[in-house]
């Protein structure tokens, strides 16, 4: 079983997930100390075994043999849904290759929680980037991908590297809408929304806690004769009055001027143009 666990608040553990942890013969986890706290909350006394990126290949074979013998293994991560920028993929793949049943008990995810809290979600979907590469060609490729995306992007970042990421975003796309989501579901939860330039200034020094960053979609290239003039005029007035691109799009959509997704894309372009002109 792949079992989703809370990303911070233990009360988010579902009754089904708690029951699975109690009924399993073994819990495969990243850190036995952190998972021990979760098991106590669930009322489970199940034995644990550590599975992390340094031993996953060897552990996968052991766990498959245990499942073949009739044992039930619950795979968890330190927080959220396993396998999402966490180890465990080799274990699941080995179980599938062995013809064993793999069931998933869904649970919280920092990815979708951050996206919902950001105010940048839409019907067009989103991209998940995991942790942004630190440097080199992989870093450049990731930034180029962000630059071209026409949907929001969610990534994880360490507190120490957050200022550098925001500074890079601000240098490339200062008016791009961004949300920094810190310590989601925990006591000191914080969601800070604004343009890349604003958040680069706000987080010039590293914050504390676990971070998810949501980056709004790229502004579309202007298309001659696209008949967006009335929409652009309305959005220009709203943005000039102090509204951000997202809020201006909400107002335009509420007034029936354009669908929200279209209004937001045009609002990003208008905001970028206004910023470049100053």
| Parts of the chain with a pLDDT under 50 | 224
State the pLDDT at residue 191. 97
**Is 89 within 8 Å of 96 (Cβ atoms)?**
no
State the pLDDT at residue 227. 66
The model's pTM is 0.77
Query: Count of residues for the chain?
Result: 278
Domain 2-105 listed as CATH 3.40.1010.10? yes
Give whole-number Cα distances, 212 to 88, 168, 186, 229, 273, in Å.
21, 16, 13, 36, 28
For the stretch 216-230, pLDDT in tens is: 998 765 554 556 788
State the pLDDT at residue 249. 87
State the pLDDT at residue 124. 84
Pick the CATH number of 110-215 from 3.40.50.300, 3.40.1260.10, 3.30.950.10, 3.90.70.10: 3.30.950.10
DSSP 202-252: HTSS--SS-EEEEEPPPPPPP-TT-S-HHHHHHHHHHHHTT--HHHHHHHH
State the pLDDT at residue 256. 81
What is the number of other CB atoms lying within 10 angstroms of the CB of residue 164?
Answer: 15
State the pLDDT at residue 221. 56
């Amino acid at each position: 079983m792949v079992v989703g666990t809370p990303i911070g608040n233990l009360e988010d553990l579902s009754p089904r997930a708690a029951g699975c942890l109690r009924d399993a013969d073994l819990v495969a986890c990243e850190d036995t100390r952190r998972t021990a706290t979760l098991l106590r909350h669930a009322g489970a006394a199940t034995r644990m075994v550590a599975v992390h990126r340094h031993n996953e290949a060897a552990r996968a074979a052991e766990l498959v043999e245990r499942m073949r013998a009739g044992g039930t293994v619950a795979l968890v991560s330190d927080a959220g849904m396993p396998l999402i920028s966490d180890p465990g993929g080799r274990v699941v793949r080995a179980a599938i290759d062995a013809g064993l049943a793999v069931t998933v008990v869904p649970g919280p995810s920092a990815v979708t929680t951050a996206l919902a809290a950001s105010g940048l979600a839409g019907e067009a979907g989103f991209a998940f980037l995991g942790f942004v590469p630190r440097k080199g060609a992989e870093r450049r490729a990731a930034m180029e991908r962000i630059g071209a995306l026409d949907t929001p992007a969610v990534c994880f970042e360490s507190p120490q590297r957050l200022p550098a990421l925001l500074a890079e975003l601000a240098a490339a796309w200062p008016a791009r809408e961004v949300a920094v989501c810190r310590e989601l579901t925990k006591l000191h939860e914080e969601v800070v929304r604004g343009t890349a330039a604003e958040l680069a200034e706000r987080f010039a020094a590293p914050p504390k806690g676990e971070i998810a960053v949501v980056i709004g979609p790229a502004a579309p290239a202007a298309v001659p004769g696209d008949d967006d003039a009335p929409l652009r005029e309305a959005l220009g007035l709203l943005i000039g009055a102090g509204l951000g691109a997202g809020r201006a799009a909400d107002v335009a959509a509420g007034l029936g001027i354009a669908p929200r997704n279209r209004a937001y894309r045009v609002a990003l372009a208008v905001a970028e143009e206004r910023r470049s002109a100053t």
